Structure 1
């Protein structure tokens, strides 16, 4: 049985790794250089702001995704979404299959929804801030053949829906066509790994 956690069960760290005045300040040259305590401090500082912001306009995913299964022990920089720190949540339909982190030979069930929080690191300001909530929804077979039945969407940190060009997202996700277009969290932070 795979371990499932909700956001409430994640370990938190005080913002001691960040500046006392601003818990989102950092001095690393790149998000790839951040250490785990600093990443956890950013997340601890921003997580409530992100959840409130994504749900501010009543988006059906942005309002509820925090009740879903979290798929990693902390946010991490995977690369596909730039140098953003990412934390992925899977709804009940997606969780059992997604948390297997299978490498091939499966198709996610229709109705699966994945929501990926992001933290953007601004090198000019030396501060972390909420980025978009990226959303993938698996549609019924044949509903969107150009994207392998995935619908890509997003919510801005203020809750406004993003205008997402399907081909833009899919052109990147096609790199994982052998595992139904899924780019998983880094192996060292995956739940149950």
Structure 2
């Protein structure tokens, strides 16, 4: 074997080991993702957060590119039921921040132009690994423009930045359960940022 071939083989082996180590870093040991401790969730998020941000921005989507500069609404991602076995982490734009961060339950309507971007980390119970999930997006439109969804436009980006096909009624059927919160879910109480 020539020196060049030996170096190439060593470089390939190193790259494979590094990619394997990165994948192992995103593993977890709990049988049920809902049993993950805060420190374990923080490790999973640290493992994936850069990959998620790069992936959502990959196709140049305006929200996928900008959302990380918005206001974080929680101190870390948390597991919540409606979006499956996913860790969720919500960011809100400047238009939405003041009202959303009240985490209010009452008769209010979000300002037109409010945008919520919810990162998700998919957790595989079988493989006990975590990987980027979709970026779920809600945009508040003009009053009366989409009455069947309380004027929310639902959208999403795949982890590779490609736009998801989203059935508005599918999203809103769940979000309508939060009718006293203008159809918005909030982060779990223990991870909410203080206003």
For residues 91-110 of structure 1, what are the structure 2 equivalents within 5 Å? 91-110=93-112
Q: Deviations over 1:105-127 (max 9, x none)?
A: 11000000000000001122220
For residues 44-55 of structure 1, what are the structure 2 equivalents within 5 Å? 44-55=46-57
- Distance in 1, Cα, partners of 2:128 & 2:186: 27
- Distance in 2, Cα, partners of 1:126 & 1:175: 31
Unmatched segments (≥5 aa) in structure 1: 1-18
| Residue aligning to 1:136 | 138
Greater Rg over alpha carbons, structure: 2
TM superposition outliers: structure 1 runs of 4+ over 6 Å: none
- Distance in 2, Cα, partners of 1:178 & 1:35: 30
| Residue aligning to 2:151 | 149
Aligned residue pairs: how many?
175
Q: Deviations over 1:19-67 (max 9, x none)?
A: 8872111121111110111100010110000000000001111010000
TM-score by length of 1: 0.88
| Residue aligning to 1:77 | 79
For residues 107-186 of structure 1, what are the structure 2 equivalents within 5 Å? 107-186=109-188
- Distance in 1, Cα, partners of 2:98 & 2:116: 12
Unmatched segments (≥5 aa) in structure 2: 1-20
Say whether residues 1:35 and 2:37 are aligned partners: yes
Q: Is the 8 A contact 2:33 2:125 kept in 1?
A: no
- Distance in 1, Cα, partners of 2:22 & 2:193: 31
Q: Deviations over 1:81-123 (max 9, x none)?
A: 0120000000000000000000111100000000000000112
- Distance in 1, Cα, partners of 2:71 & 2:150: 24
> SS where residue 190 of structure 2 aligns?
helix
